[in-house]
Structure 1
């Protein structure tokens, strides 16, 4: 089993508090986050954009493998995962993850689209998200 991790430190209350997060690899180190970066679009990061980045990266890697197995070559994949944070009762819940991907490669368009659908459901991050996952595919 491969185990990776991220960590976070938080000080203060919800609205006036501040936090930093880091990743095992050091790609993120003491990256600031807080109420203002999550709900007020201020500079810094937030959990939803990190989940979105992880989802987009995982999907793209899974898709590249599936395309390779299907004989598609010269692959270029650009993906965004839009993570929806919705009000739920007294709190919030992530309810949606919408993949938007643009794929170019040498191969049949229908095969490429089918591979994208397989990756949408099969990438490990898609499997862990308990959210409605949808996707738009453009094959160039």
Structure 2
């Protein structure tokens, strides 16, 4: 089992609040996020961008390993992901993650590539996350 961590803080509430997010690896370290980084053009990140990066990288790695397992040794994979956040009643909901793949794989035919890519899409851990159990523990300092 592998466990990775990230943390987020948010000071102030609602649109007036500002936060930061950090990752265990240090790739993100107190990276700002807030209402205007999510819905405006203020510099910083947002949850949908982070999910898109996770999905694109996870799928691409899963496909790379699947192709290698089938004996392919030379190729280049480039994936972008577009995560859509839509209004849902009084709140919001992530409704889609659209992967767009550009691939060059020596010696593979289209049908075999499509089969391997579809399996990687369905079975990469981040794709599976969209249907995963989510747990929550909390401590409230009131």
TM-score (norm 1): 0.89
Match of 1:92 in 2: 92
Q: 1:109 maps to which residue?
A: 110
Which is worse superposed, 31-40 or 66-75? 66-75
- For 2:37, the equivalent position in structure 1 comes to 37
In the alignment of these two chains, the number of paired residues is 130
What is the Cα deviation at residue 29 of structure 1?
0.2
Give the Å deviation of 1:89.
0.9
Cα distance between partner residues in 2 of 1:20 and 1:54: 18
Residues of 2 paired with 1:113 and 1:73: CA distance? 17
Superposed CA offset, 1:57-105 (max 9, x none) = 1000100011111222212110011111010111101111111011111
For structure 1, the residue ranges without an aligned partner over 5 or more in a row are 131-140
3-state SS of paired residue (1:3): coil
Q: Which has the higher contact order (CA 8 A, sep 6+)?
A: 1
- In the TM superposition, structure 1's runs of 4+ consecutive aligned residues that sit over 4 Å from their partners are none
**1:63–1:119 CA contact under 8 A, matched in 2:** yes
Q: Unpaired segments of 5 or more residues in structure 2? A: 132-142
Alignment of 1:45-84 (within 5 A): 45-84=45-84
* TM-score of the superposed pair, with normalisation by structure 2: 0.88
Looking at secondary structure, tell me which structure has more strand per residue.
Answer: 1
| CA RMSD of superposed structures (Å) | 1.0
Instruction: Give, in whole Å, the separation in 1 of the partners of 2:112 and 2:73.
Output: 12
Residue 15 of structure 2 aligns to a residue whose secondary structure is coil
